[in-house]
């Protein structure tokens, strides 16, 4: 039990600040995933034949040493890619794919770029980026 009122107040303030940061980061994450869903759906709507489109994947990279990176990792929203960053491929792919089944690279890239854009707008010094790759090129390309 904490006897000193000053120590109690200091610990309470620390807990309140952490809770406030958690809420702020969750709101930011939700905004980024909403942008990813919208961008992915818009890109998907442009594709004439999704089955013949180039397959691939995309992700956002968040430096793990930042407060936001630590929050993402603690909340199991990403997998550890290396010692310096966490790469979040699964959450971008899963978060916005509601109702859309595709492996089209341009859809994934649009979603990842939108999510990274939102995160960078709010966390400009965090060093968040997006990237992607093609698994196969469609026959008509």
Rounded Cα gap, residues 93 and 96, in angstroms: 6
pTM of the model: 0.76
Domain assignment of residue 32, yes or no: yes
Share of the chain above pLDDT 70, in %: 77
Tokens of 40: 């992915």
Please give the pLDDT value at position 141: 47
Please give the pLDDT value at position 126: 85
Tokens of 113: 């770029």
Is residue 117 classed exposed, middle or buried when 0-12, 13-18 and 19+ CB atoms within 10 A define those classes?
middle
pLDDT interval class at 117 (50, 70, 90): very high
Q: What is the pLDDT of residues 62-87, one digit of tens each?
A: 887 888 888 888 887 776 655 455 66
pLDDT interval class at 95 (50, 70, 90): very low
Domain assignment of residue 141, yes or no: no
Q: Of 125, 97, 129, 127, which Cα lies nearest the Cα of 115?
A: 129
Please give the pLDDT value at position 94: 46
Domain assignment of residue 80, yes or no: yes
Q: Of 101, 100, 119, 103, which Cα lies nearest the Cα of 38?
A: 100
Q: What is the pLDDT of residues 15-53, one digit of tens each?
A: 778 778 888 999 999 999 889 889 988 988 898 887 777
Please give the pLDDT value at position 31: 93
Please give the pLDDT value at position 123: 92
DSSP-assigned states of every residue in 54-75: PEEEEEEEEETTSHHHHHHHHT
What mean pLDDT is reported for the chain? 77
Number of domains in the chain: 1
Q: Which domain holds residue 79?
A: 5-136
């Amino acid at each position: 039990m904490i006897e000193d009122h000053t120590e109690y107040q200091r610990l309470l303030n620390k807990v309140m600040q952490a809770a406030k940061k958690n809420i702020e980061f969750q709101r930011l994450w939700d905004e980024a995933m909403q942008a990813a869903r919208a961008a992915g759906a818009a890109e998907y709507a442009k594709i004439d034949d999704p089955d013949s489109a180039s397959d691939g994947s995309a992700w956002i990279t968040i430096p793990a040493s930042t407060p936001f990176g630590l929050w993402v990792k603690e909340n199991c929203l990403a997998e550890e890619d290396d010692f310096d960053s966490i790469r979040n491929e699964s959450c971008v792919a899963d978060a916005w794919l509601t109702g859309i089944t595709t492996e089209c690279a341009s859809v994934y890239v649009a979603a990842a770029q939108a999510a990274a854009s939102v995160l960078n707008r709010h966390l400009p010094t965090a060093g968040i980026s997006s990237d992607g790759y093609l698994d196969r090129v469609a026959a008509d390309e």
